[in-house]
Amino acid sequence: MSMPDVPNLTPVFRLTTEGAQHLLLVSVAMKELAMPSISRADR
């Protein structure tokens, strides 16, 4: 078997203060949506 040829990818992220605030709010909202599912699974 030969080794796979994986290209060298270097993604460029340009994150502004507004973008960081948006990502933070989204992550908190996703956590809040997941909490009821986790608590129901414990029962």
Q: Write out pLDDT tens, residues 1-43.
A: 688 888 888 888 899 999 999 999 999 999 998 888 777 766 6
Question: Which helix (H) or strand (E) is 12 found in, with range?
Answer: none
Is residue 10 a part of any domain in this protein?
no
What range defines the domain where residue 35 resides?
16-43
pLDDT confidence of residue 42: 60
Sequence-distant (≥ 6) Cβ neighbours of residue 23 within 8 angstroms: 15
Is residue 37 a part of any domain in this protein?
yes
Tokens of 19: 């973008």
Is residue 41 a part of any domain in this protein?
yes
Is residue 35 a part of any domain in this protein?
yes
pLDDT confidence of residue 12: 85
Residue type, 31: K
pLDDT confidence of residue 18: 96
pLDDT confidence of residue 20: 94
Tokens of 26: 């989204």
pTM above 0.75, yes or no: no
Domains: count for the chain? 1
